[in-house]
Amino acid sequence: LELKRMSVSREHRGRGLARALCREVLSFARARGFGAVVLSTSMVQVAAQRLYEGQGFRRVGSSYPSLLGTLLNFQIFHYRCDLGDGT
C-alpha cells in the first residue's frame, strides 16, 4: 500500500493527528492483508521523517526528482514499513 500526500493543516498540528492518521493507515493496510506500506518524503520534511520513523518506517532509499534536484542535491527519501502477518 502506498501512502501519498498525508498532511495536517498548520492550525491543527501538534495534537497528535498525524500520528493517529499514520496508525490508522497501518491498521487499515494490515487488516486488508498488505505486507507493507511505502511512502516518499523530501529531505526538507524533517518532522515527517521523524513521524514515519517513530511509527516503524525505515528509510530504504533516496532519489532525485529531476535534473535540477540533482544539481541542487535535493533528495526524495523512500520509506517502508513491513507489516508482518499481524500476529
- DSSP 3-state of 6: coil
Q: Which residues touch 55 (CB under 8 Å, ≥6 apart)?
A: 19, 22, 23, 26, 81
Mean pLDDT of 4-22: 93
pLDDT in tens, 38-69: 999 999 999 999 999 999 999 999 999 999 98
The DSSP H or E segment spanning 27 is helix 17-31
Grade residue 20 by pLDDT with cuts at 50, 70 and 90: very high
**What structural domains does the chain harbor?**
2-82 (3.40.630.30)
Q: Which residues touch 38 (CB under 8 Å, ≥6 apart)?
A: 1, 2, 3, 78, 79, 80, 81
pLDDT in tens, 71-82: 998 999 999 999
pTM above 0.85, yes or no: yes
Contact yes or no for 30/83 (Cβ under 8 A): yes
Contact yes or no for 2/34 (Cβ under 8 A): no
